[in-house]
């Protein structure tokens, strides 16, 4: 039996050579990091849940015409994807003030923004992924003007779609991160959505209670991250036997108690 070739190992995923040229296998780990890998840990079962959630989100996005790297899920922790050249930018969309925006500008977390903000961060761990302007992106040739036009228009469409999708399951999409890559066809390339969309790279708040259902539980040592990730998957109808109707109003009291680590009230 031959061992498959590892192409890249990141903080939460490993990429292996795929079965055909131009494909890769994306493996989802349980490892979690925060604050540019200053905090490290694992979230039990996270890889399995994120694989399912990302499959679901990328499939839904492809149905509205967003080109993505996703081909198909292979098993619990792996999916087959198209090989792309990753554009070295983290594209962050914000609907509500939170996280680094609140810290940097002194805006209270939870304040709805008058319109969606799009921000760019240069992907460089050694520099701590600094925020950059489109001027820097053009100046250092990280992406062309045309590519940035495609990225920003896709990002806004993705945000509009996902805000509605999550609202349908009583979740507020506060902010999230996207990555894009170049898919080559001979001398030409086009930009497609890559990486993953999961509670690792989104802020997801329960609409009724404000409960955090994302990686902030890990970043802020709140506990209950496994349950929070499972709750998102369950509401999306991705956990067998535990799915609910989209839009159904849920009684979260027992979940809230579990998320806080206290037994549910009888």
Exactly one of 27, 121, 180, 218 binds ligand TMP (CB under 6 A); that residue is: 121
The verdict on 6 binding ligand TMP (CB under 6 A) reads no
3-state secondary structure of 253: helix
Exactly one of 92, 143, 173, 228 binds ligand TMP (CB under 6 A); that residue is 92
Nearest-approach distance from CB 18 to ligand TMP, in angstroms: 25
Out of 45, 99, 168, 223, name the contact with ligand TMP by CB under 6 A: 99
Those residues with Cβ within 8 angstroms of residue 109's Cβ, 6 or more apart along the chain or in another chain:
97, 98, 99, 102
Could you say whether residue 183 binds ligand TMP (CB under 6 A)? no
- The reply on whether position 201 binds ligand TMP by CB under 6 A is yes
Contact between 25 and 41 (Cβ < 8 Å): no
* Nearer of residues 50 and 79 to ligand TMP, judged by Cβ: 50
Nearer to ligand TMP, 99 or 223 (CB): 99
Q: Which long-range contacts (CB under 8 A, 24 or more apart) does 66-69 make?
A: 66/154, 66/157, 66/158, 66/161, 66/193, 67/183, 67/190, 67/191, 67/192, 67/193, 68/192, 68/193, 68/194, 69/181, 69/183, 69/192, 69/193, 69/194, 69/195
Tell whether residue 37 is a contact of ligand TMP (CB under 6 A). Answer: no
Binding site for ligand TMP (CB under 6 A): 90, 92, 98-101, 121, 129, 175-177, 201-203
């Amino acid at each position: 039996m031959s061992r498959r070739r590892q192409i890249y190992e990141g903080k939460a995923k490993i990429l292996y050579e795929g079965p055909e040229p131009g494909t890769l296998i994306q493996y989802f780990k349980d490892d979690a990091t925060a604050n540019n890998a200053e905090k490290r840990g694992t979230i039990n079962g996270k890889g399995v849940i994120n694989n399912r959630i990302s499959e679901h989100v990328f499939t839904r996005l492809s149905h509205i015409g967003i080109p993505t790297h996703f081909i198909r899920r292979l098993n619990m922790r792996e999916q087959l994807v198209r090989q792309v050249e990753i554009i070295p930018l983290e594209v962050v969309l914000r609907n509500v003030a939170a996280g680094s925006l609140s810290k940097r500008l002194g805006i209270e977390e939870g304040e709805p923004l008058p319109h969606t903000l799009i921000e760019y961060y240069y992907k460089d761990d050694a520099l701590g992924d600094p925020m950059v302007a489109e001027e820097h992106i053009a100046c250092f040739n990280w992406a062309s003007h045309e590519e940035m036009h495609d990225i920003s228009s896709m990002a806004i469409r993705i945000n509009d779609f996902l805000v509605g999708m999550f609202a349908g399951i009583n979740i507020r999409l506060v902010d999230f991160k996207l990555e894009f890559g170049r898919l080559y066809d001979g001398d030409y390339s086009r930009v497609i959505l890559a990486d993953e969309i999961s509670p690792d790279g989104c802020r997801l708040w329960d609409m009724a209670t404000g409960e955090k259902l994302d990686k902030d539980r890990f970043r802020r040592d709140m506990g209950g991250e496994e349950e929070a990730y499972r709750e998102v998957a369950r509401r999306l109808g991705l956990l067998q036997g535990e799915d609910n109707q989209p839009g159904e109003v849920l009684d979260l009291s027992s979940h809230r108690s579990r998320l806080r680590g206290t037994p549910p009230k009888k």
